[in-house]
Structure 1
């Protein structure tokens, strides 16, 4: 046998024959010096107190470093920097104050570099007041000092203050840099900001454009995100399309903007562009969460399955937000069992994962199952959040579990220390109202410790619509008109209530009010997926070439269903018309158009899935029940409130929606 390489020569190990113990490794000089002052003195040429403090800080030994600091009369800037960083790392406010006092005593109070570090330290320690004091006492205010305060105030949610200081900084002639624009744009959407901050954000947009920062990808992505958070989708899209360079963060921000602002079609289209037009911007977990949200919004099951496969191939299936979004997506696409399997396979679960599962069962109307999962969550040691209670109370509402809902609502504060918010009161008003306990619902609104917002009054008005309570509806709508003068849906809901009560003069009055205020009813719109393609339907769609065929098919279906006992429900038509004309109007509802298209284009045994942007009307609900029975078709309709699963002439909601 021949060796391709020369054999390795192994040197014999040399052993010293003695019985002395092996020497331990020498400790760092800083430790020797700290524990032996005499050695420290003799080693003065080798290590100074400044070096000793810096070494101790790097080792994380803050207390020892502070002891040495008390013996040093002239610490250097670098020594103070490392002490400040070490205080922040140890989250020690008392030690931070001690270091700060030392800095002041040694004349470094006007050092802008250390001022920047001090502001950052106090921000990280949660003391924005001390950060302000450092800033106010620093006269040499470089842009770095301003930026440090902007960061501290933005993280603390004081956006209005940041914007005020920004204009002051501009007046005194301090030039902004890329970090400045990033912080002030983030400040526009800080917790305390109002709609006025959008105007300020637009002015900042103009500033950075004039100064040539509109090609900076990070700044422009932050600007895009600001517009997205204010719901200004067109502005966000303008910024995105004008970016010369896009990275994964900017693509993800644009997809999230569409997904969170009711533009799910656009979110999926942008994702496809990202996949086909870019090579360097591979989607990450943040991207996938937004794409899954878009699939969930449209009930695009096949699209969601493709995304799931991509997630598995990329190894993103171990990231909790992605898996939680998958659970939600399958639940909102009508595949509860698949969502449950995804949840069961999770190695780790956080409260968001539990919330996703509870919400999925709730939107399907399985209130008792949602409560069971909530109790399992508590047994597994997860701490519920306000979102958890919104989900489980909403689930109780869909199944009419009044007593269970009241018990859970009372347990929020008593058992979990969560103060009920407006969203929780809205859930309770909806729960009581749907169960025709309108007096209790009205009393709950009256007894609220916080000001009832549009969600609460909207829940009460919706309950009045279900049970035809005109008096209470007028009271609720009066408050809603004051709170949301531009929300056409409230006017339409009141007009519906008047129409069902045959109060046509009042219907006309509300319609005139709509016209006077220049408001238009939100048109009914439906979506459905057929053979991995998404289709959209609106009640009035003269430009769709398929409409003639669909309408003809619908007329024939309606005639057949009438022979089998279907009687059109036309009480909600807001016009005094002949019965035949009213029937023609309800036959043109978007969900019926989608249903007819699904019947034409799906095979036998294949379920039809439809998503609607409004509440399912009584006539469409009844019509779909008849179709499911006599066409032997399973039909799933998700409206703005919940899922309806139609099969053999029965709906899963039990006619309770």
Structure 2
């Protein structure tokens, strides 16, 4: 009896293990890692299948460290365990870890060798992969050969792929499709078609590769023609063609194709719903969603994403609440919606409920805190991350840059093991955003020295830094690099070039760049108009504005700041006021503080101070420091002390550490003989200057940006100053014929 009872108990335990294993595998396919892990943790008996299933699932869901912990706990391990762990490293592109594990394997099969070859090829280590292929014991096994062919083909090394293909002792359909995939995935459709037509055997995979190749190349006509000729299309065939129509906005054709599918499975329904979501047709997507006979987690997540994309967070939350089994993808989608709407704390609650969040969840929460300026919380999460990827590091760099903490952003950047182009761009753009133009250029130079190639974003940032430094020679060098590297057709780069030349006083160069642009946009016009304004070419600014309107380009707020600035620089008060009224009446643009600042500066320059002050009193927006600064400067020129004191007080509130405001008002009091006020302001200035950073100026000398800090005795060379003054005096005497130059020089 005891024996029978024991056998029954063992049988029941075995059935429980099998049942639990099937549940774990099923949940893994659905991406419900938390639920699977919960079942795994509660299992009293586990076998090799249990561990291998969990290892595979964790690795595929970016939880490779957890997978390795399970692997190390396993005793004994079988060949499947080792292969599952190597496959996990392959999935997460961790080549060194995979190689170490491969070397430690007690035994290997053909799958082990093929996995390691694939691992090397995907990471670009083709030579190591080829060396490994030579060591494979079973030369007749096609899996390793196919992995090598796929590796060469995907990297565009077709000659090497063809050599391996020709050397194969035996070829199967996978061999042919691996070669074909290399051609189609690299857009070599003529080579692909020739190879496809010569293939001894074809299957539906071969046809699908060709259809996908034409879709990716933008040749929908050829893709559709080939699709219609597939002998027995499968769901991949239909979905590939459907997604092709969706990608190019042909939603009607996509729906017609969907309605033709003889047997629709959940993948085809999801593809059509995703198409409607992509086109922001959420009502149509929802109709189709409700008609679905069977929904999976992708279906629910897609519709949640759709509502979030059109800004309907409440509807997204309602769908989420109806979802029978909420997986990590759905939670991530709703988290994104909450973050996008500024509900960071609610998003964090959801994040904390996820048992084992993946790297996407971590990065999303860090980005949410960063975008909200809550960098302490972002850093806390960043430190807790079990596995960080390059996106995690880049998010922190951008977050600190936006918060104005470039010292911390730099430390994060320096601590990164592997930096990509986004890392460099985040750092360079961060310096630019925080007015650290020289540091931005230094980082650009360092980037090149370390062998990293800049893209259009990097170059545009570099040009903007040159513009703000008036570093014309460096800007010209960047221009030459742009010509050589083929970025001259990039509109973003061209607009930055216009601004760089304009701010460096080279208006003709800016005009030439503008003329060379094939299709200018609003930013191009704004850059040109602002350039004219900056250099005092009001007539050219008006002429450009007229051409812009003739080309039916609608101006924006920036356009009118440029136009008002142009009027201000040459004292065109009437024309400036007309432009201001036209902005409001003809283009329905609400004036910003910057527009009022230009008007105040304009009226102040021509001595119409009462009108300037009335503009400030009557405007609907809150005055900024630039506006009060313009008024104070005008009061200084036209000796209106009473109004100047009023403007200065407002400036002291907005810019308490800006010494120039104190100096301007102090000079005005001095001119009025009010020496007590002068002394009081100087005492205030000394107190402020003791707490603030020293002033900094710069000049470009022989392609180098030279910095000068106030009170920096190392930069003072009295003998050099004497030589420069003598030279300037002689030059002015020759050019200007000033009779009293000697007395002026004596004062200096």
- Confirm or deny a common fold (TM above 0.5): yes
What is the rounded CA distance, in whole Å, between the counterparts of 1:68 and 1:268 in structure 2? 53
What is the rounded CA distance, in whole Å, between the counterparts of 1:49 and 1:177 in structure 2? 30
Q: Does the alignment pair 1:210 with 2:378? A: no
The 5 Å alignment of 1:260-409 reads 260-278=433-451, 281-409=452-580
Deviations 1:239-258 (A, max 9, x none): 11111111122112212222
Tell me, what secondary structure is at the counterpart of 2:714?
coil
What is the rounded CA distance, in whole Å, between the counterparts of 2:724 and 2:426 in structure 1? 42
Q: 1:272 to 1:56 in 2, by over 3 A?
A: closer
Q: How far did 1:49 drift?
A: 11
Match of 1:543 in 2: 714
Tell me, what secondary structure is at the counterpart of 1:183?
helix
Match of 1:254 in 2: 427
Q: Does the alignment pair 1:238 with 2:416? A: no
Match of 1:183 in 2: 364
CA contact 2:409–2:427 (8 Å) conserved in 1: yes
What is the rounded CA distance, in whole Å, between the counterparts of 2:309 and 2:742 in structure 1? 67
Q: 1:264 to 1:57 in 2, by over 3 A?
A: closer
Q: 1:260 to 1:56 in 2, by over 3 A?
A: closer
Q: 1:183 to 1:484 in 2, by over 3 A?
A: farther
Task: Structure 1: state its 5+ residue gaps.
Answer: 1-24, 33-45, 191-196, 570-579, 588-657
Match of 1:428 in 2: 599
What is the rounded CA distance, in whole Å, between the counterparts of 2:313 and 2:621 in structure 1? 28
Match of 2:87 in 1: none
Match of 1:552 in 2: 722
Deviations 1:558-595 (A, max 9, x none): 887899425999xxxxxxxxxx9xx6xxx6xxxxxxxx
Deviations 1:491-529 (A, max 9, x none): 444334333433222233334445666765775543222
What is the rounded CA distance, in whole Å, between the counterparts of 1:493 and 1:181 in structure 2? 51
* Greater Cα offset, 499-508 or 365-374: 499-508
What is the rounded CA distance, in whole Å, between the counterparts of 1:91 and 1:203 in structure 2? 33
Match of 1:149 in 2: 334
The 5 Å alignment of 1:9-158 reads 59-60=245-246, 76-102=265-291, 108=295, 112-138=297-323, 140-153=325-338, 158=341
**Aligned counterpart for 1:470 among listed residues 641, 655, 659:** 641
CA contact 1:62–1:83 (8 Å) conserved in 2: no
What is the rounded CA distance, in whole Å, between the counterparts of 1:378 and 1:481 in structure 2? 41
Q: 1:427 to 1:186 in 2, by over 3 A?
A: farther
Deviations 1:207-251 (A, max 9, x none): 22232445x222211221122222221111111111111112211
* Greater Cα offset, 364-373 or 281-290: 364-373
Tell me, what secondary structure is at the counterpart of 2:453?
coil
RMSD: 3.8
CA contact 2:245–2:254 (8 Å) conserved in 1: no
What is the rounded CA distance, in whole Å, between the counterparts of 1:522 and 1:497 in structure 2? 26
Q: 1:338 to 1:509 in 2, by over 3 A?
A: same
Tell me, what secondary structure is at the counterpart of 1:526?
strand
Q: 1:499 to 1:567 in 2, by over 3 A?
A: farther
User: Taking CA–CA contacts closer than 8 Å with sequence separation of 6 or more, which of the two structures ends up with the larger relative contact order?
Assistant: 1
Match of 1:201 in 2: 375
What is the rounded CA distance, in whole Å, between the counterparts of 1:363 and 1:473 in structure 2? 26
Q: Output the TM-score relative to the length of structure 2.
A: 0.62
**Aligned counterpart for 1:494 among listed residues 643, 665, 672:** 665
Q: How far did 1:175 drift?
A: 3.9
Match of 1:577 in 2: none
Q: How far did 1:97 drift?
A: 3.2
CA contact 1:488–1:520 (8 Å) conserved in 2: no
Q: Output the TM-score relative to the length of structure 1.
A: 0.70
Q: How far did 1:202 drift?
A: 2.7
Q: How far did 1:364 drift?
A: 1.0
What is the rounded CA distance, in whole Å, between the counterparts of 2:692 and 2:457 in structure 1? 35
What is the rounded CA distance, in whole Å, between the counterparts of 1:342 and 1:71 in structure 2? 52
What is the rounded CA distance, in whole Å, between the counterparts of 2:727 and 2:322 in structure 1? 79
What is the rounded CA distance, in whole Å, between the counterparts of 1:567 and 1:406 in structure 2? 45
Q: 1:168 to 1:315 in 2, by over 3 A?
A: same
Q: How far did 1:123 drift?
A: 3.3
Q: How far did 1:300 drift?
A: 1.5
Q: 1:564 to 1:521 in 2, by over 3 A?
A: farther
Tell me, what secondary structure is at the counterpart of 1:449?
coil
What is the rounded CA distance, in whole Å, between the counterparts of 2:743 and 2:619 in structure 1? 41
CA contact 1:486–1:519 (8 Å) conserved in 2: no
The 5 Å alignment of 1:638-657 reads none
Tell me, what secondary structure is at the counterpart of 1:330?
helix
Match of 2:396 in 1: 223
CA contact 2:366–2:382 (8 Å) conserved in 1: no
Deviations 1:78-133 (A, max 9, x none): 24311221212343233123234435xx674xx54333211222233444443343
Deviations 1:574-621 (A, max 9, x none): xxxxxx9xx6xxx6xxxxxxxxxxxxxxxxxxxxxxxxxxxxxxxxxx
Q: How far did 1:331 drift?
A: 1.5
Q: 1:420 to 1:132 in 2, by over 3 A?
A: farther
Q: Larger C-alpha radius of gyration, 1 or 2?
A: 2
**Aligned counterpart for 2:623 among listed residues 452, 461, 464:** 452
Q: How far did 1:461 drift?
A: 2.5
Tell me, what secondary structure is at the counterpart of 1:416?
coil
Q: How far did 1:50 drift?
A: 12
Match of 2:118 in 1: none
* Greater Cα offset, 396-405 or 513-522: 513-522
Match of 1:596 in 2: none
Q: How far did 1:428 drift?
A: 1.6
Q: How far did 1:319 drift?
A: 0.6
Q: 1:174 to 1:432 in 2, by over 3 A?
A: farther
Q: How far did 1:140 drift?
A: 4.2
Tell me, what secondary structure is at the counterpart of 2:424?
helix
CA contact 2:242–2:258 (8 Å) conserved in 1: no
Tell me, what secondary structure is at the counterpart of 1:540?
coil
Structure 1 or 2: larger helix share?
2
Pairs aligned (count): 517
Q: How far did 1:487 drift?
A: 4.4
Tell me, what secondary structure is at the counterpart of 2:706?
strand
What is the rounded CA distance, in whole Å, between the counterparts of 2:421 and 2:227 in structure 1? 45
* Greater Cα offset, 250-259 or 556-565: 556-565
